[in-house]
A and B are shown apart, each in its own frame.
Chain A
């Protein structure tokens, strides 16, 4: 079974802090994704990566950046956290474009 592990289940950060959300997958998947989930808005794609050191913007990349130095790890970075980035963040991976996403358990981030 594919395992996607997010480093923190809950995080509380202050406005202006730099925040790192880490995600690791153990199935050698090429593609990795970061979504945020907000009530009434579903899942919105922030960034995705289809290879090491490659990244593409999703639908809401503003205020975020990502890093993929190794195939198994995809990090989401909030350069200067703001209260409107309070959300549930979900990391996912997929083997290829015909395969479903495998999700991590999510990180609930609160920015105060």
Chain B
């Protein structure tokens, strides 16, 4: 079964602190995506990771991909309140025929002032 697991599911952290969200997936894939969803809104793309060892950074967020370990991390540096949202990872899999995107359950992040 194709599975994408995120942890933690909920994360409450103080402003200024660092933390990492983990995304594990169960089958071979070279492509992983991170999305952000604000309450009541749709998902927006944050990072596209297309190869083993890929690292992308945008502001206080940095994403990396280890395809051998089937693991991606989203690292938050010096969190600020504006980062409060739900973060999803998604893996692009090709079980048969065409590609499809499978999502993790999401990590709800709350940054406390």
Contact = CB atoms under 8 A, between A and B. Distances in A.
A56 interface: yes
A42 B106 contact: yes
B103 A35 contact: yes
A90 B43 contact: yes
Interface of B: 31, 33, 35, 41-45, 48, 50, 88, 90, 92, 94, 97-106
11 contacts: A33-B101, A42-B105, A43-B43, A48-B100, A98-B31, A98-B50, A100-B45, A100-B48, A101-B101, A102-B45, A103-B44
Interface of A: 31, 33, 35, 40-45, 48, 50, 56, 58-59, 90, 92, 94, 97-106
B42 A90 contact: yes
Contact of B45 (A33, A98, A101): A101
B8 to A, nearest CB: 13
Contacts of A105: 41-42
Nearest to B105: A42
B105 A100 contact: no
Given A56-B98, A97-B31, A43 B42 contact: no
Nearest to A44: B103
Nearest to A33: B101
B59 to A, nearest CB: 18
B98 to A, nearest CB: 5
B58 to A, nearest CB: 13
